Amino acid sequence: MTQPGIPNQFVLSTSCFGPRLRKIEDQAFSAVAMGFRALELGLSATPSDLTNFEDASRETGITIDSVVVGALKPLTPDMSGTKLGSAEPDNREMALNSVRRHIRAAHQLGANTVIVRANSVEDGRLRTKAADLLERGLKITADEREEFSEELRKFVEKLQLKGQKQIEHLCRALHTLRKEFPETRIAIEAGDKLDDLLGFTAVGWVLEDLADPKVGYWHSTSRCYARESRGLIGQGQWLDAYAARMFGVHLTDATEEETGLPPGLGAVDFKLVAEYCAGSTLRVVDVHPHHGRAEVLGCVSYLIGLGF
């Protein structure tokens, strides 16, 4: 049996393995050897083969604490499970069935938290405008940045208002899921694009509508950084607003040019994030699979040094 590493309090996303290790038993042994005692079933172009999880869990003691909706199928840009708020009834029904499948899988794996993301606001004109703004943002000068950031903020406010009907659909779907699976915690995670349905304001609407202790917020350090780097609401404001409802955090570093980095190799302020993490907050290390064991272990030491 693989020798266990020094135990740590973090969760390792299976996304970190990529095509290197596809079987859950191999992922479990590898994670335990690095000191992890829990996994998250994350998104990947090569999703985990879960066939032998029960045996792997019995041999290693590892658990699965959370499941990201979409993890059961290969990662694509347009996952069906993100469309709970779609304007199209057929899309909403497919999304609802997808989330149901992931919750049932979570039950079988012993996980009690499922993470839900959303697609874009379904307005072709606004999505085109978002793409144009991003293109312009690549060319602006330092002197133009403040004015451009204000333009971005006003655009995102307008876009959020346009997406209110979709948010109503999303909330209705989440209410349905809570009735069907009362024991499951559902966390909503915001996106990193200008036209994402779950922006800052919309997350607040959802959490207000579902004033339920088993519906919460999931923080993504890299997604918040991406939004902040474009001049939108920053990490501190997200955490100030929603940390009281926070179930977990995806710990991923980023720069303006690159994401998927191990914490400590980019520009994210992890010390700030650590201040908002309660004892029960799930801390999930989620880095691109081309980063290996040494980099993962290095980021765990870095995070522990910051107080996580």
Residues in a beta bridge with 66? 40, 113
CATH number for the domain harbouring residue 63? 3.20.20.150
User: Taking the alpha carbons of 265, 254, 38, 295 in that order, is the dihedral positive or negative?
Assistant: negative
Assigned domain for 53 exists: yes
pLDDT at 140: 83
Assigned domain for 134 exists: no
Q: What is the number of structural domains in the chain?
A: 1
Which of 40, 115, 120, 113 has its CA nearest to residue 77?
120
Q: Are 70 and 99 in contact (CB under 8 A)?
A: no
Q: Are 258 and 229 in contact (CB under 8 A)?
A: no
Assigned domain for 254 exists: yes
- Alpha carbons 164 and 199: distance in angstroms, whole number: 11
C-alpha angle with apex 297: 292 to 301, nearest 5 degrees? 150
Assigned domain for 256 exists: yes
- Alpha carbons 198 and 160: distance in angstroms, whole number: 8
Q: What is the DSSP string of 31-48?
A: HHHTT--EEEE---SS--
Check residue 7 and report its DSSP letter: -
pLDDT at 214: 98
Assigned domain for 153 exists: no
Assigned domain for 155 exists: no
| Most distant CA atoms of the chain, gap in Å | 59
pLDDT at 1: 46
Question: Residue 55 is which amino acid?
Answer: D
Q: Where are the beta strands (DSSP E) in 92-179?
A: 113-116
Assigned domain for 248 exists: yes
- Alpha carbons 87 and 183: distance in angstroms, whole number: 28
**pLDDT of the chain, 308 residues: tens digit per residue:** 455 676 788 999 999 999 999 999 999 999 999 999 999 999 999 999 999 999 999 999 999 999 999 999 999 888 989 999 999 999 999 999 999 999 999 999 999 999 999 999 999 999 999 989 988 888 888 888 888 889 988 999 999 999 999 999 999 999 999 999 999 999 999 988 889 999 999 999 999 999 999 999 999 999 999 999 888 999 999 999 999 999 999 999 999 899 999 999 999 999 999 999 999 999 999 999 999 999 999 999 999 999 99
Assigned domain for 140 exists: no
Domain that includes residue 30, residue range? 11-122+164-305
- Alpha carbons 47 and 295: distance in angstroms, whole number: 22
